């Protein structure tokens, strides 16, 4: 998710996915046809085109020079000096539903917690997120179906927006990066909760951890809303324990096995424990976050070091820009 300050768009995160290796038959994994993830991509592209149409750069000259890609006429981009991601102005994003703390809390515009997921700060931001979504999301949808992945995507994006609104108050924020980090978080918890049915599970775990660490590290640069990344990741991580749990090895083949070797429970005991704990934490987290948000609580007042999770100042850049 990108945050935009003073008309400057921020780069969203790029996500990747780890390889999965199952001992169970691949036929079950590929039982679903992925259509929801491509539909989300089409919807985000359509929304971006609408953003640029509403923006109408040629009709609103500004101090940053002429529009970029002027041959596109009405849908040309804001000047690169204003938005290096090749997109609309920050005022257009705010008008169309970007996440902005004051409007959510003091103007009762809670719908921005949802609309911001579908907006993007620029063409580069859009391409990075949509390519990541196709790379990660299609495989997950093929394995688990559109209902569970749809719920996971939307709730992760919502969770990222809530945390962002609590801790990021000086700028607006847009993008699907929180939802994408939710998919990464769910991949990690899915690996943990279904640990016994994996082969090469340590390699898969290490691969995922490296990918997640790199992507969270990117969020420490300026103009990237890492709070949305973290909120989406935590939401997706907990949702993975709830939604992506698999039957233990031998359950699907139990009717073909001798009675003495048949498993009697669909899930292992530790899977039930993870499911209950994750569900309780998920409900508590959303409840506390929303109550704090709509009471106007500044999350930074209760966590004086949290701003370092969003941006780390160095001699080369300032996090206050």
Catalytic residues: 177, 229
DSSP string for 207-266: HHHHHHHHHHHHTTSTTB-HHHHHHHHHHHHHHHHHHS--PPTTSTTGGGS-GGG--S-S
CA dihedral angle for residue 166, residue 11, residue 282, residue 286, rounded to 10 degrees: 30
Q: Which two tokens stand for residue 127?
A: 């391409």
As a whole number of angstroms, the distance between CA 149 and CA 155 comes to 10
Q: Any idea what the Cα angle at residue 319 is, between residues 112 and 7, rounded to 5°?
A: 50
Joined tokens for residue 176: 């699907």
Tokens of 128: 């990075």
- Integer Cα distance of 65 and 60 in angstroms: 11
Can you give the length of the chain in residues?
Answer: 321
**Torsion angle of the four alpha carbons 136, 141, 142, 146, in this order, in degrees rounded to the nearest 10:** -160
- DSSP-H helix ranges across the chain: 26-29, 36-55, 90-96, 101-106, 112-115, 123-144, 146-167, 177-193, 201-218, 226-243, 269-294, 299-302
């Amino acid at each position: 998710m990108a945050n935009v300050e003073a008309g400057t768009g921020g780069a969203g995160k790029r996500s990747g996915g780890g390889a999965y290796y199952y001992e169970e038959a691949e036929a079950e994994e590929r039982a679903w046809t992925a259509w929801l993830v491509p539909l989300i991509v089409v919807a985000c592209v359509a929304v971006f085109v609408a953003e640029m149409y509403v923006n109408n750069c040629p009709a609103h000259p500004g101090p940053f020079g002429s529009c970029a890609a002027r041959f596109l006429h009405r849908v040309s981009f804001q000047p690169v000096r204003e938005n290096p991601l090749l997109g609309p102005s920050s005022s257009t994003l705010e008008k169309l539903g970007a996440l902005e703390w004051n409007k959510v809390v003091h103007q009762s515009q809670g719908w921005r917690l949802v609309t911001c997921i579908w907006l993007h700060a620029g063409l580069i931001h859009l391409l990075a997120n949509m390519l990541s979504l196709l790379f990660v999301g299609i495989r997950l949808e093929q394995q688990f179906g559109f209902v569970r992945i749809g719920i996971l995507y939307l709730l992760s994006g919502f969770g990222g927006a809530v945390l962002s609104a609590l801790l990021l108050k000086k700028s607006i924020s847009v993008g699907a990066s929180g939802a994408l980090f939710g998919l990464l978080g769910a991949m990690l918890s899915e690996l943990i909760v279904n640990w016994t049915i994996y082969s090469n599970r340590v390699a898969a775990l290490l691969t995922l951890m490296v990918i997640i660490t790199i992507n969270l590290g990117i969020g420490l640069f300026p103009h990237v809303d890492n709070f949305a990344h973290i909120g989406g990741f935590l939401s997706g991580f907990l949702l993975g324990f709830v939604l992506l749990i698999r039957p233990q090895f031998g359950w699907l083949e139990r009717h073909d096995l001798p009675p003495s070797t048949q498993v009697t429970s669909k899930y292992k005991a530790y899977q039930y424990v993870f499911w209950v704990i994750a569900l309780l934490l998920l409900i508590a987290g959303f409840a506390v976050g929303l109550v704090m948000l709509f009471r106007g609580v500044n999350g930074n007042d209760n966590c004086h070091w949290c701003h370092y999770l969003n941006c780390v100042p160095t001699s080369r850049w300032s996090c206050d820009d």
